[in-house]
Amino acid sequence: MEQMQKQYHVHYSPAKGWARVDFRELWRYKDLIWLFVKRDFTVMYKQTVLGPAWVLINPILSAAMYTVMFGVIAGLSTDGVPQTLFYLAGTALWGFFSACINKISATFTTNSAIFSKVYFPRLAMPISTMLSAFINFVLQFVMFFVMLLFYVAKGDVHPNWVLMPLTVLLLAQVGLLGLGCGIIVSSLTTRYRDLMVVVTFGVQLWMYGTPVVYPLSMVGGMSRALYAAMLLNPMTAPMESFRYIFFGSGQVNALMWAISLLWTVALLALGLSLFSKVEKTFVDTV
């Protein structure tokens, strides 16, 4: 009788950090994520003359400009890689990363109307944006690979064919890094709109602090302090690894990747935590 009179107390507390993200729910909404991806393409190229061709035109124009500015005028080294191919590779990979940050950072401000009317996992929106940027990269990569085969036939570059499957993991890491940075900014812009102005400029500065238009070997010959600072950049390892895989050049080691992966995990965890917290109250501030 005494045992039946015992009272049990159950304590409930809100989930914190990673636990706030319901990955199973995100998987159930995978069809909606794909619809958002198709919507992004429709909106991006609506009422344009060339349409999706801009996906290829933009990196070509950027690579041509970098070839003239940094290759011809500044005379920067490309580690023996043909200049056009070198800059096209850097432009494509960095374009994927920067698109994730720039577009995801506006998640709450540009989608406030739909967020306030319909329920779905809010994280589906930045994930769809990252996937849209990835599809753009794939189209650019096909163009890059065709050009790579041309220079391979000429004997100008010697790719590491065995390592090419690792490109999938490399791109996944870059996408998650961009997603983490993007959702951090998007969470903060609900209160501080000034960040929307700063983020584009900041990403541009980040590019020049990353071996995109120059090889890391050139920095190592200039200053040890600057070289050490470059190693702390989470995009240095993916960029140099991409060149090592497809050009047979580039400086990459385990320390660089350990730093890059540590940054990726930390920024993604922080971003998911902030995003989960802000999504519940952002309607009151946006």
| pLDDT, position 51 | 61
Cα–Cα distance measured from residue 61 to residue 87, given in angstroms and rounded to the nearest whole number: 11
Task: Determine the Cα–Cα distance for residues 152 and 144; give it in Å rounded to an integer.
Answer: 12
Contact 196, 109 (CB under 8 A): yes
Tokens 């989960």, located at residue: 276
pLDDT (0 to 100) of residue 49: 54
* Position 47 confidence tier, pLDDT thresholds 50, 70, 90: low
From CA 176, how far away is CA 159, in angstroms rounded? 26
Percent of the chain with pLDDT over 90: 37
* Between 117 and 185, the higher pLDDT residue: 185
**Cα–Cα distance between 223 and 228 in angstroms, integer?**
9
193: three-class secondary structure by DSSP: coil
pLDDT band at 234 (very low <50, low <70, confident <90, very high): very high
Mean pLDDT of the 242-266 span? 92
Q: Residue 265 is inside which H or E element, if any? A: helix 254-278
CA atoms within 13 A on the CB side of 159: 21
For 71-97, how does the pLDDT look when each residue is reduced to its tens digit (9 = 90+)? 888 888 888 899 999 999 999 999 999
Helices 124-154 and 30-45, packing angle to 10 deg:
70
| Mean pLDDT along residues 106-118 | 74
Q: How much is the pLDDT for 76? A: 85
- Is it the case that residue 270 has pLDDT exceeding 60? yes
Question: Does pLDDT of 4 surpass 80?
Answer: no
Q: Is 12 exposed, middle or buried (0-12, 13-18, 19+ CB in 10 A)?
A: exposed
Task: Reply yes or no on whether the pLDDT at 202 is more than 50.
Answer: yes
- Assess contact for 186 and 104: CB atoms under 8 A: yes
Question: What's the whole-model pTM score?
Answer: 0.85
Residues 116, 9: Cα–Cα separation, whole Å: 36
Mean pLDDT of the chain: 83
Q: State residue 241's pLDDT score.
A: 95
Reported as a pLDDT band with limits 50, 70 and 90, residue 12 is: very low
Instruction: Please state, in angstroms and rounded to a whole number, the distance separating the CA atoms of residues 14 and 23.
Output: 17
The 10 Å Cβ neighbour count of residue 23 is 10
Please, what is the Cα angle at 273 between 270 and 279, to 5 degrees?
A: 130
194, pLDDT greater than 90: no
Residue 17's pLDDT band (cuts 50, 70, 90)? very low
Find the distance separating the first CA and the last CA of the chain, reported in whole Å.
Answer: 57
Distance CA 191, CA 284 (A): 10
